[in-house]
Chains A and B, each alone.
Chain A
């Protein structure tokens, strides 16, 4: 490699723009150095790229192909031999009058409602906690640490504790609500029926808000102190400062935060899976679990894949619109 580079370079003769005053050996190292310089970024990216390909992109493409196939358990060992189904899987998924489509639509709507509630509450609690912990006071460091505990706990350990708390006969929730506060004639079921939605929401907010808190706390550190001092000199109280300095300054952080929270909550599988097991009650049947459950129940992975593809399309559209709206806001602000 090196020798060919030398000879080729030597043959290029006097017409080249290379500096001729340097000895040949030096020139070659420079040259191969330049070559390496060009390919180095690609070399550095290679491991990440290969892994993303193997674990995310190829499976995703396969998933898309599978959604056009009649993939039942008989074809699992040789999935490419499964017959083509064309758009049948998609037709089944969006046929809202038939049981499968109807259940999918219901699960989708439940997930939307759940995501809006969960992201909203996580954001609200996270913002309030971050703002209240901005100023130094006694116990601030301790609270800061305590508030991160739900985030640090492994999902299954935390959620299984909530399962215990939501037990009808020996759980803490019914002990407080029914035995101590006297609400309701009978202890309620929390993990079956309509209450399950609220149980899931509680757990999801409990687990999710510290991420908002953490991110917003980091965002608060970027606000220069003298902005507050100037406002205080102008006679603005704490509440006014929060409204006119803190909250507007957090806007760029919030744009990223809300998008990330939305995607994580919408796709969350772990929380409902540990809370309810493989089949969630209808009121809390989040879409990820629903697709998983309906795929493995009917063993029709083609339809399951079609549902996943529709879900991905929905997320793409929402994310695209969101990015468009927020970047337009940014541009408008820059122009002003």
Chain B
């Protein structure tokens, strides 16, 4: 199909402008992370006059970035694993069974998406504190509390997406597995899960990103030892100085794991969205 010049030129101009818009902050992040402090405190320069790797060494000293990194990894990793497993079970039930309350369940789960986070911040804080004083299980200030909170953030979207994905897998497949002697759980793990890998990967990526990027609950519910990157990054601005070069270096470092993982798995994400959320 031959596209007319009007289409080609519009496309060229639009895509160029959009690329510049998208990459501008990435360029600023990268170039500023390689500048000495005098340079980032002065007027912005497109082309750095001097390059240094110092900020990348200093970021670990100025704040305990490694500790925050470990905290974020543990919290996001655990939240992702739990959320994916729970979402797979729930989506399987909704996709393959008819039962009383099915509609109520899906509508309730979906509608939690529209709750303003601010509405349940304080109640949740009170619940965690009360559970802590009643049972001794430290939810407030601990990684456990944050994991518990985060895994529910991605849960509605994950369940919703997986229901669509599971629905697109022919029922004949699990019927065949049952004929071969699999129970319902066997059919889930031997047939549905392998066939739904793209959807499950997409959900896992989404869950990890949600947890890795959350700010509000991380800033209210963590203490010195459980602080995550989302809060820890604020430590580079002191009363005297804002270490912009270090902030940019640290931002880049904390972004690398999610961006790399995301870009590697984005094929699956599109495939997952196609079968799930879109239908």
Residues of A participating in the B interface, judged by any CB pair closer than 8 Å = 37-38, 40-42, 44-45, 47-49, 51-52, 54-60, 62-63, 66, 76-77, 79, 125, 128-129, 132-133, 135, 143-158, 160-162, 164-165, 169-172, 174-175, 179, 206, 214-215, 217-219, 221-222, 228, 232, 237-239, 253, 256, 260, 263, 266-267, 269-270, 273-274, 287-288, 291-292, 295, 301, 304-305, 308-309, 311-312, 315-316, 319
Contact assessment for A214 and B273 in the assembled complex, using a CB-CB cutoff below 8 Å: yes
Complex CA gap A165/B23 in Å reads 13
CB neighbours of B118 from chain A (8 A): 269, 288, 291-292, 295, 304, 308, 311
Interface hits, B51-110 → A, CB 8 Å: 86-87, 89-90, 92-94, 97, 99, 102, 105, 108-109
CB neighbours of B21 from chain A (8 A): 206
Complex CA gap A210/B99 in Å reads 37
CB neighbours of B148 from chain A (8 A): 51, 54-55
Residue of A nearest to B219 (CB): A273
| Cβ of B181 to closest chain A Cβ, rounded Å | 13
Number of chain B residues close to chain A: CB under 8 A: 89
| Cβ of A74 to closest chain B Cβ, rounded Å | 14
Complex CA gap A42/B104 in Å reads 13
In the complex, whether B28 has a CB less than 8 A from a CB of chain A is yes
Can you name 24 A-B pairs with beta carbons within 8 Å? Answer: A40-B184, A47-B90, A55-B149, A135-B1, A143-B19, A146-B23, A147-B22, A150-B25, A154-B258, A155-B214, A156-B233, A161-B29, A161-B248, A170-B42, A206-B22, A221-B274, A222-B274, A256-B278, A269-B118, A288-B116, A295-B118, A308-B118, A312-B114, A312-B119
Are A41 and B122 also in contact (CB < 8 A) when A170-B44, A179-B43 are? no
Contact assessment for A41 and B99 in the assembled complex, using a CB-CB cutoff below 8 Å: yes
Residue of B nearest to A217 (CB): B270
CB neighbours of A45 from chain B (8 A): 89-90, 93-94, 105
Tell which of B10, B11, B26, B155 touches A149, judged by Cβ atoms closer than 8 Å: B26
Tell which of A38, A144, A256 touches B277, judged by Cβ atoms closer than 8 Å: A256
Tell which of B29, B119, B263 touches A60, judged by Cβ atoms closer than 8 Å: B119
Interface hits, B258-276 → A, CB 8 Å: 258-259, 262-263, 266, 269-270, 273-274
Contact assessment for A305 and B119 in the assembled complex, using a CB-CB cutoff below 8 Å: yes
| Cβ of B20 to closest chain A Cβ, rounded Å | 11
Tell which of A44, A221, A291 touches B90, judged by Cβ atoms closer than 8 Å: A44
In the complex, whether B223 has a CB less than 8 A from a CB of chain A is no
Interface hits, B231-279 → A, CB 8 Å: 233, 244, 247-248, 251-252, 254-255, 258-259, 262-263, 266, 269-270, 273-274, 277-278
In the complex, whether B186 has a CB less than 8 A from a CB of chain A is no
In the complex, whether B196 has a CB less than 8 A from a CB of chain A is no
Contact assessment for B109 and A48 in the assembled complex, using a CB-CB cutoff below 8 Å: yes
Most buried by A among B10, B40, B117: B117
